[in-house]
Chains A and B, each alone.
Chain A
Amino acid sequence: MESLNFIHLDLTNALYLFLVGFVGGLVSGFIGSGGAFVLTPAMMSMGVPGIVAVASNMCHKFPKALVGAIKRAKFGQVDVKMGLVMGISAEAGVLLGAHYQELIKQHFGDAGSNLYVSVSFVIILALVGGFVMRDTIKSYRSGVMEQEKPGRLALWVQSIHIPGTMVYFPSINTRISILFTIPLGFATGLLAATIAVGGFIGVPAQIYILGMSSLMASATELVIAFVMGVGGTIKFAWNGYVDVRLAMIILGGSLFGIQLGAIGTTYVKPFMIKLVMGVIMLTVLLSRLLVIPVYLSQLEWIAPMEAASISLLKNASFAIMILALVLGAGIILVAMIKGRKTVAEQPVLLKKAA
């Protein structure tokens, strides 16, 4: 086995990763995923080879998801059975997604691979993120922010009875055919292998197609992320790509964040989960949209761009990606502080009323 040159790690880089890990963990603890997309480019900007960055990111994700899932299971928000069923099918999606990535890289090189990732980001985030955001605004305008009911699609899915495939899931309190859950898990894994955040498909799919509540879906996503993360880490570690130091520094920050994000879910209205997810997805969409011309020009599908323009677009894209994470974390913290304040004031208000 060829020995890889793992980077020299200094204190500044370690603190940087710890901080990004914390913010990413906070978002993941709250919406079930979404914190990891910034970590791979963050590590690569420090000089970590791409595949080592992906592998190390994966290695921090599964222990983080484990801690988050246990925490949220204590609040009664996790459907373990759903998480395992979808997680196992997601694993198959990860393998196929990784295979696609390798094929594209072989045929079109790094620029082709980057273009594929960015276009996938833009299409999926525009469709799913736009839908989530529209639903969030609708809930806010109608004033129905406390209770969530399954939509028409979810009710139809729940009404379909296919003998031999029906499984009872506590989160929706009904039996559902695994012929629906398996493709959804598979799509989650496929996306995780492509853009590193399967939850951008997994969580909305659980809410809008299976009829789970936002709280249950975001918590159950952590079980799916754990199953996918273990499998992915084994795959990368088998080839010797994991830099465990990077993974554990990120984990150091993200475990502080994920505990806080998980606690935050108990103080906010369910629609806040959709709001954070929608805001992050649409901001990341903008980030990826900016770099598409760069990869098109590298593939010579459009006129070549100047080095200064490429650098500007790449830096702006990375800055917007960080902004997405900061925006999400900011909304979570504000909502949590408000929620805690309301809870703290309740005994005083009750006393006054009495």
Chain B
Amino acid sequence: MTPHTKTSNSFVPVIGWGSASVALYFLLFRYETQILDWISQGKWFFIIPILIAFSFSIVHGKFTGEFWKYMGIHAKH
């Protein structure tokens, strides 16, 4: 267990997943009017927030995991 080692962690995944996460947020706010218009119609449009939530959980979840890893915050083994 090496809780304070920062050097062993690569910065590449942080940048990669971080960029993908920023891209998702950019798209969400770039097209917010259209997206909210669809969502507010309800019914089968329910799939839109579900898909968005799953996409963000995968991409942003991976980014936050890599971020803490890079910061040297690991679980105790």
Contact = CB atoms under 8 A, between A and B. Distances in A.
Interface of A: 1, 3-4, 6, 59-60, 62-64, 66-67, 70-71, 74-75, 230, 233-234, 237-245, 247-248, 251-252, 255-256, 259-260, 262-263, 266-267, 339-340, 343-344
A301 to B, nearest CB: 36
B1 interface: yes
A340 B3 contact: yes
A247 B25 contact: no
Contacts of B63: 255
Interface string B50-77: 1011101100110111011000011110
B41 interface: yes
Contacts of A255: 57, 60-61, 63-64
A59 B75 contact: no
Contacts, number: 115
B40 A251 contact: no
Contacts of A247: 49, 53
20 contacts: A1-B43, A63-B54, A63-B56, A63-B61, A67-B64, A75-B75, A234-B46, A237-B49, A242-B39, A243-B36, A244-B36, A244-B53, A248-B52, A252-B25, A252-B56, A255-B61, A262-B75, A263-B75, A343-B1, A344-B4
A91 to B, nearest CB: 15
Interface residues of B, number: 36
Question: What is the predominant secondary structure among interface residues of chain B facing chain A?
Answer: helix
A59 B54 CA distance: 10
Nearest to A60: B53
Nearest to B38: A240
A255 B64 CA distance: 6
Contact of B36 (A6, A62, A70): A6
A238 B46 contact: yes
A243 B41 CA distance: 12
